[in-house]
Amino acid sequence: LFALNLVKRKKQRENVNYIIIAEGYMDVMMLHKAGFDTAVASMGTSLTFRQAKLIKNYVGNVYISYDGDSAGQDILRDAGLNVKVIVLRDGMDPDDLIKSRGKEAYQSLIDNALTLTEYKLENAAGKFDLSTPDGKSGYAIEALKIISALGNPVEQEEYIRIVIKNTGYSKQTLMKQLGLEDAQSQREEQQ
């Protein structure tokens, strides 16, 4: 991981709250120059579990600042890191964004970063025409696969709200598709 040595030095001096993972060294150099001095680069390769564990030695929070593959993103989450995704639009990378719009624009992206699940749901929504019945159902099925992988009913219910908003389907229908309707009904009956 390019520039991890700089994060290590900073951590020796002060608390480090998060690491930003960018794709290349130019992005990292621009981020450091702009004051985002906890940036590292994966150098365009998929992250490994070993790298994720190494990051975990320094912080609990990671911001991904590129459209990397979801396997790398999932590796970070599986390593016990809280993962957020900085959504870069218009084909820009951090270097381009900071040069054209300034560090305040990048800070705004950090402040509005999506959770990993929100990011995946947004990507899934972009694959379908949500104004059509087929698009809504296709999106709902794909989104529920993402949600079911969470394995935590509290998180699942939170993200089901996004699917409801995007499709108009009832919570009951989505819970049934997830196979959670019976479990929820039993809990409600016990109360």
Helices (H) and strands (E) in the chain, counts: 11, 5
Give yes or no for a contact between 24 and 44, defined as CB atoms under 8 angstroms apart.
yes
Which pTM value belongs to this model? 0.85
Span 142-157, pLDDT tens digits: 999 999 999 788 999 9
What is the per-residue DSSP string for 85-99? E----TT--HHHHHH
pLDDT per position as a tens digit, 38-97 = 999 987 677 889 999 999 999 999 999 985 555 578 899 999 999 999 998 888 889 889
pLDDT for the residue 70: 55
Total Cβ atoms within 10 A of residue 16? 17
Q: How far is 163 from 167, CA to CA, in rounded Å?
A: 6
Proportion of the chain above pLDDT 70, given as a percent:
90
- Please report which confidence band the pLDDT of residue 112 belongs to, taking 50, 70 and 90 as the band edges: very high
**Which pLDDT score, from 0 to 100, does residue 71 have?**
59
19's tokens: 């690491």
> What pLDDT does residue 23 have?
85
